[in-house]
Amino acid sequence: MSLSPSQEGGADSPGTGGFWGAITERGQSLLGLDPEIQGKFLLSALALFAVWLIRRLVLRLAEGRLQDPKVRYQWSKTSGYVAFVFIVLLLGQIWLEAIRNMGTFLGLLSAGLAIALRDLVANMAGWGFILLRHPFVVGDRIQVGEHRGDVVDIRLFQFTLLEIGNWVDADQSTGRVIHIPNSRVFSDPLSNYTAEFPYLWHEIPVLVTFESDWREAKRILETAAREHADPILRDAEDRIRQASRKFLIYRGKLTPKVYTSVMESGVLLTIRILAPVRQRRGLAEALWESILDEFRRSPQVDLAYPTRRIYTNLLEGKAEIRAPWPSGMEPGRSEEGS
């Protein structure tokens, strides 16, 4: 006595009977899929769900214990990469035999996709370059082409900046989020404000009148600059010493300097001072407030501003180079004769 296929495999054998058999027969009739292929799809779906569920549980536990947003972000990105690797391994194990049988077709297909999707491939290559070479990491302030901002995310095809500058002065945030393709790291110049040395040289021009005591004004500026620069000099020296081990950077003087020049409307004194990247505007404000207070106390110094004046060579300028008065028009002559 021989058994039918359904009796041999049991009521629940895949592809032969029962609930699963009915599903596979339905799928084969509607989609033309072999029961074995349908089983691989089901295993793939289960693998994806299992990896996703495990990652969500790990993140839930980590978020409950981690307070630092940067550490939580790193956990999220790292767990995503690990989950991706596991998914590739599991799906490869499930579909390995089918991939072998379709090797030639997949080779031609991948070549065609590489041409048609060259931008996506370039973005993936850029992502690999960012992860391996670290031209920037999350939290760095960078400029790519015309776009500047703080890096807030790095993904497979693009990275994200929180924009600074543009219509906002002093490199402060505009509130806009900019998504930039990863391939731009190969085609556009990339500037990193914070990697290795998180300080920038900042210049503040101060214009005083020609009548002012410019040496006294320069002394005031040098004193104010030193007071605001002293708290950061030690850290700046340590940072540049570390950076000089990696790059050919000569360690010059980091103390502030005031340069003197002459403009049409006064003597220009330019303060050159080292400022933390994200505190340039605050440093400039504090420095200006100190300068204004000191100038207000000094009777010998006054700020210059655009004015229009009539210069009489008979009365103004050095006495040795003044023009002579016309005969009979010397100052005080009319009063003496009256």
Structural domain boundaries enclosing 171: 136-192
Exposure string (b/e) for 236-246, b if CB count within 10 Å is 16 or more? beebbeeeeee
Q: Is the pLDDT of residue 207 over 90?
A: yes
**Which is more confident, 312 or 184?**
184
Same domain, 210 and 187: no
Q: What is the mean pLDDT of residues 110-129?
A: 79
Q: 292 vs 79, 111, 170, 212, 224, CA distance in Å?
A: 54, 68, 20, 15, 11
Exposure string (b/e) for 22-52, b if CB count within 10 Å is 16 or more? eebeebeeeeeeebebbbbeeeeeebeeebe
Query: Are the C-beta atoms of residues 196 and 243 closer than 8 Å to each other?
Result: yes
Query: Are the C-beta atoms of residues 151 and 142 closer than 8 Å to each other?
Result: yes
Q: What is the pLDDT of residue 15?
A: 43
Encoding tokens for residue 238?
A: 């340590």
Same domain, 17 and 95: yes
Q: What is the pLDDT of residue 298?
A: 92
Which range has the worst mean pLDDT, 70-79, 179-188, 256-265? 70-79
Q: What's 154's domain CATH number?
A: 2.30.30.60
Give bridge partners of residue 274 from the DSSP assignment. 201
Same domain, 204 and 180: no
Q: Is residue 333 part of a domain?
A: no
pTM here?
0.62
Q: Is residue 241 part of a domain?
A: yes
Same domain, 166 and 182: yes
Q: Is the pLDDT of residue 332 over 70?
A: no
**161 CB neighbour count, 10 Å cutoff:** 23
pLDDT per residue over 237-285, tens digit each?
888 888 877 777 777 788 999 999 999 889 999 999 999 998 899 999 9
Q: Is residue 108 part of a domain?
A: no
Q: Is residue 121 part of a domain?
A: no
Which range has the worst mean pLDDT, 49-53, 146-150, 154-158, 254-258? 49-53
Q: What is the pLDDT of residue 93?
A: 75
Same domain, 184 and 224: no
Q: What's 262's domain CATH number?
A: 3.30.70.100
Same domain, 150 and 233: no
Encoding tokens for residue 28?
A: 């084969």
Per-residue H/E/C for 95-134: HHHHHHHCHHHHHHHHHHHHHHCHHHHHHHHHHHHHHHHC
Encoding tokens for residue 294?
A: 């000191």
Q: Is residue 127 part of a domain?
A: no
Query: Are the C-beta atoms of residues 218 and 295 closer than 8 Å to each other?
Result: no
**153 CB neighbour count, 10 Å cutoff:** 15
Q: What is the pLDDT of residue 77?
A: 72
Q: Is the pLDDT of residue 10 over 50?
A: no
In the chain, % of residues over pLDDT 70 = 78
Q: Is the pLDDT of residue 105 over 80?
A: no
State the chain's mean pLDDT as an integer. 80
Q: How many domains is the chain built from?
A: 3
Residue 322 region, left (φ>0) first, then alpha (ψ -120 to 50), else beta? beta
Backbone CA torsion sign across 79, 82, 84, 90: negative
Q: Is residue 125 part of a domain?
A: no
Same domain, 33 and 83: yes
Q: Is residue 305 part of a domain?
A: no
Same domain, 177 and 218: no
**Which is more confident, 138 or 12?**
138
Q: Is residue 311 part of a domain?
A: no
Same domain, 237 and 183: no
d(CA 153, CA 300): 54
Same domain, 210 and 292: yes
Which DSSP string do the residues of 202-245 spell out, in sequence order? EEEEEEE-TTS-HHHHHHHHHHHHHHHHHHHHHHHHHHHHHHHH
Same domain, 180 and 217: no
> Which of the four pLDDT bands, split at 50, 70 and 90, describes residue 7?
very low
Same domain, 165 and 253: no
